[in-house]
Chains A and B, each alone.
Chain A
Amino acid sequence: MSLSPDDVLKVARLSRLKLTPEELERFGGQLGQILDYVHQLDEIETSAVEPMAHAGALLNVFRADEPAESLDRREALKNAPKADGKYFLVPQILEGA
């Protein structure tokens, strides 16, 4: 199967990826191939199988809630695409604000 450009567009939107028309076409074919391949799992009867999300023991890990040093503000901001020394700068999202 091949995903239609509309299907790919929908997945790309959910993935927050902007694709060119050429990419929609190309990825549609490739994603379809991959999905075809993974459909072989349907051969296996799994109705009584417990899903396994994790190889480790799924126990919650707790620690005492004690104050500790956190990342320095300058360090936290140093990789920001845009910052003013105190805050991350983001585009305006509210109309007329």
Chain B
Amino acid sequence: MSAFPISARQLLQQMQSGHLSSVEVVQQTLARVDQTESHIQAFLGIDREGALKAAVDVDRRRASGESLGRLAGIPIAIKDNLCVRGWQTTCASRMLADFSPPYDAHVIERLRAEDAILIGRTNLDEFAMGSSCENSAFQKTHNPWQLDAVPGGSSGGSAAAVGAGMVPLALGSDTGGSIRQPASFCGIVGMKPTYGRISRYGLIAFASSLDQIGPFARNVPDAALLLEVLSGHDRRDSTSVNVPVPDWTKRLDQPWKSLKIGIVPEHFGAGVDEEVAQTVMRAVDLFRMLGATVNEVSLPHAKYGVAAYYIIAPSEASSNLARYDGIHYGHRAAEFSNLVDLYETSRAEGFGDEVKRRIMIGTYALSSGYYDAYYLKALKVRRLIANDFQQAFENVDVILTPTSPTPAYPLGAQVSDPLKMYMDDMYTVPANLAGIPGISVPCGFSSSGLPIGLQLLGPAFEEDRLLKTAYMYEQATDWHTRSPALSTF
């Protein structure tokens, strides 16, 4: 496609200077969607009418000299587990196929207040449970770099929409890597902020102590801009933390004196794809050339992260998803013999396999006689994992890891082996368990042309460090400017 700008900042400049109207931007976006969506299938719903109407409104207000929001006229895609009033919100589940939320999520209010244009809702693994988007009850999303590969997950639709150049920005949620891993698979920037940084009000709950909303973008400054808009205290989420929101976009350029990067030797050994290890190591070398010090750090309990996560997340999920009872909203079975049968049949019909597996694992781990051996044990290991990070950050500013042990794999490759898919999350889950922020940025390609991402982790509420470090890398490389060969579509 043409040289139509793909970065939110460029689009903002061109709209502010009058070179582009908001309506033109939305029309271009929809044209782009029409051109590529049949191949990618990132969206579960597209709000053409609403987007154009909002764009007309932005243009009118700009013409009359009104002051506009920080994202005025910028198209954005929304993961379909965030409540948007007037849309459906399905979580890619038959359970919520007809659910229409009566209110906006906090982050949607924030986007509307900044005059962003909501384009549509994107595909995900059902209830955000999965790492490939293949657990969606409705459709498979394809990786824009190789259509027979997965986009990653669970926020695969949002990552693919940004990766394919349909929209410059998208929202995702990250419970164990669901923003960072698809960002790495699709060659874009994705960030999970500190737990509590962004209100979860209106995010359909999966595992409440781990879920965080975050941005997808084509580059670090765009991600910083969206993060600024989303962050801040909201009393409707009691875990939302009342701390100041820094001007991340303004601080990106401030020089990073004597940056200390930590790497964990095991992250580059067994269990990780060789090309991924080499590519990420080249990024480490580049940081050295840019003046950073690189130290080895030890995270002795990180290797237990996946095991702890797959007790804690399903336990919380089994409780959170108990609300789907076929009474107040969601799917109700047409035929049932009594009240319990109504629950059991509605849930059996409404949920897919992975959701059922996790509900049962969680129920088992929380059940009488097993609670101490599974759930309590996992919570203790969680503490050890968090302590490891705390100690490591006494000696380094950030920790650099591969985002995922492999690049994107072929569609269908892991659907029959849930445990194998859980391993995709080995580098990302520790951050959710510890509540710390993480960002994935593109750092190269595999020999077969699939993107590879590196992950930066920092202490709680130090998103600033991650964004600055990521930006430093981005300015010294051009991975973020690469686009998939969409002309072949």
Contact = CB atoms under 8 A, between A and B. Distances in A.
A76 B378 contact: no
Contact of B331 (A34, A42, A81): A81
A55 interface: yes
A38 B380 contact: no
B475 interface: no
A31 B304 contact: no
B196 A33 contact: no
Given A38-B307, A81-B331, A31 B361 contact: yes
B345 A18 contact: yes
Contacts of A13: 344
Contacts of A51: 376, 379-380, 382-383
A86 interface: no
B483 interface: no
B34 interface: no
Given A27-B357, A55-B209, A63-B235, A34 B98 contact: no
Interface in B342-377: 342-345, 347-348, 351, 356-357, 359-361, 363-364, 367, 374, 376-377
Interface in B387-423: 418-419, 422
Contacts of B318: 15
Interface in A62-93: 63, 71-72, 75-76, 78-82, 88, 90-91, 93
Contact of A16 (B343, B357, B422): B343
B4 interface: no
B281 interface: no
A40 B304 contact: yes
A91 B386 CA distance: 47
B348 A88 contact: no
B336 A40 contact: no
A5 to B, nearest CB: 13
- Residue from A50, A56, A71, A88 whose CB has the most chain B CB atoms within 10 Å: A56
A11 B360 contact: yes
A97 interface: no
Contacts of B98: 79
Nearest to B382: A52
B213 to A, nearest CB: 15
A50 B383 contact: yes
B99 interface: yes
Nearest to B332: A81
Contacts of A49: 380-381, 383-384
Interface string A18-36: 1100010001001101110
A44 B209 contact: no
Given A17-B348, A56-B435, A80-B328, A11 B363 contact: yes
A77 to B, nearest CB: 9
- Residue from B196, B342, B377 whose CB has the most chain A CB atoms within 10 Å: B377
A27 to B, nearest CB: 6
Interface of B: 98-100, 102-103, 195-196, 209, 235, 238-239, 241, 301, 304, 306-308, 310-311, 318, 322, 325-332, 336, 338-345, 347-348, 351, 356-357, 359-361, 363-364, 367, 374, 376-384, 386, 418-419, 422, 433-436, 460
